[in-house]
Amino acid sequence: MINVTKTFFPPLEEYQKQLQRIWSNEWLTNRGELVLELEEKLKNYLSVDHILVTNNGTIPIQIALKLLGNGGEIITTPFSYVATSAAIVWEHCTPAFVDIHPEYLTIDETKIESAITDKTTAILATHVFGNPCHVEAIEAIAKKYQLKVIYDAAHAFGVTHNGTSIFEYGDVSTCSFHATKLFHTGEGGALFAKDPKLQHQLFYSHNFGHDGPLAFHGLGINGKISELQAAMGLAVLPHMETILAERKRVVDFYNQNLDVTKVQTLKIRENTVWNYSYYPIVFEDEDTLLRVQKALNEEQIFPRRYFYPSLNTINYVENSSMPVSESIAARILCLPMYVELNQSDLEFIVSILNGNC
């Protein structure tokens, strides 16, 4: 069976070495030695000044919206994982969808201004498949209208834009360290903010409002990551060079062997160092997608319709027409992409694709 992704497992003895430290410390949670070490190593790896590691990739979006959304309208993309829009509604804000760019698949920055109202408080945009939004244009719009910017950068670990970590953009950036991501802690995520005051707010918000055992600053939730999760991250991080090289190998094979006259591939934004997080293809129509998917499934190959459906059509938001997103969502399929995907499997996948488009 070939799934759309496969979790990278570091050598067991390397994980066990980290676990032994936990048993020696007798400390399982509440920001122990391994969590602090992981944050320092990630700061160095990502070239960022601040990171707050969390227990999953959704709680960072919720915390950011709690602090910056103020119950208002949040301009966002309809083409993202459901967690993006769900977090908006969960935090008692209202999603205001803006359609996407047909090639980059990120929010169409040229359509943002027309969606701004007197109730708009923030922009929540997704770096889709690790492909950056037009961050410069979004920053200019936010400054003009005094809006906050939150980036759902769940897929963007290690991505740089204009020589800078993608996590340096916006008021807050978030990331996912879920097991399906190229860097992972099993379950986990992270928050990034450049402003020291906001950093402090993010920190106590993820820790029940506490900053230390006695200092109490206000409303918070439990977003803390455990030592067990941090141990996985510390075991995975040294293998990032291999992980990226292997994913690049898969991307290069698809690029060189797929018949791209029959499908559209992702256009990576200029001045970006990408991380090979996903390999989406867009078919001419949904019927073709369903035919190809059926042919692959019959051979025990399971790509994923990612993202589907377009979020403006889900049942807990006010439906609005987003023709580009709805069209792309109906025609897009992410191909298998992981470290252990071998050459013969890749050749088989491509032969089915080219023969059925």
What's the chain's average pLDDT?
97
Residues 36 and 134 in one domain: yes
Which CATH number does the domain housing residue 72 bear? 3.40.640.10
The rounded distance, in Å, linking the Cα atoms of 280 and 252 is 13
* Residue 215 pLDDT class (50, 70, 90 cuts): confident
Residues 214 and 306 in one domain: no
Residues 195 and 69 in one domain: yes
Residues 17 and 135 in one domain: yes
Residues 251 and 120 in one domain: no
Contact 352, 292 (CB under 8 A): yes
In this model, does residue 211 exceed pLDDT 80? no
Residues 190 and 179 in one domain: yes
Taking alpha carbons only, the member of 145, 25, 153, 132 closest to residue 73 is 145
In this model, does residue 251 exceed pLDDT 80? yes
pTM: 0.97
pLDDT of residue 213: 75
Residues 250 and 347 in one domain: yes
Q: Domains in the chain: how many in total?
A: 2
Residues 312 and 324 in one domain: yes
Final residue of a structural domain among 209, 238, 267: 238
In this model, does residue 356 exceed pLDDT 90? no
Residues 232 and 243 in one domain: no
291-318: per-residue pLDDT in tens? 999 999 999 999 999 999 999 999 999 8
Residues 89 and 208 in one domain: yes
**Residues paired with residue 333 on neighbouring β-strands, in sequence order:** 281
In this model, does residue 99 exceed pLDDT 80? yes
Residues 227 and 254 in one domain: no
pLDDT of residue 150: 98
253-267: per-residue pLDDT in tens? 999 999 988 899 999
Which CATH number does the domain housing residue 323 bear? 3.90.1150.10
pLDDT of residue 357: 81
* DSSP letters for 61-76: HHHHHHHHTTTSEEEE
Residue 324: both structure tokens together: 């580009």
DSSP-derived 3-state class of residue 221: coil
The rounded distance, in Å, linking the Cα atoms of 333 and 297 is 13
Q: Which amino acid is at 120?
A: T
In degrees, rounded to 5, the angle at the alpha carbon of residue 209 between the alpha carbons of residues 67 and 26 is: 130
59-73: per-residue pLDDT in tens? 999 999 999 999 999
In the DSSP assignment, the letter for residue 215 is -
Q: How far is CA 268 from CA 87, 312, 347, in A?
A: 27, 24, 24
* Domain of residue 39, residue span: 3-238
Residue 192: asked if its preceding bond is cis (omega within 30°), the reply is: no
Final residue of a structural domain among 199, 221, 238: 238
The rounded distance, in Å, linking the Cα atoms of 186 and 183 is 9
Residue 66: both structure tokens together: 């709690």
- Could you tell me what percent of the chain has a pLDDT over 70? 100
pLDDT of residue 214: 78
Residues 218 and 285 in one domain: no
Final residue of a structural domain among 221, 238, 255: 238
Beta strands 164-165 and 160-161 are antiparallel
Residue 170: both structure tokens together: 């916006």
140-192: per-residue pLDDT in tens? 999 999 999 999 999 999 999 999 999 999 999 999 999 999 999 999 999 99
In this model, does residue 212 exceed pLDDT 80? no
In this model, does residue 89 exceed pLDDT 90? yes
In this model, does residue 18 exceed pLDDT 90? yes
Q: What are phi and psi of 191, to 5 degrees?
A: -120, 140
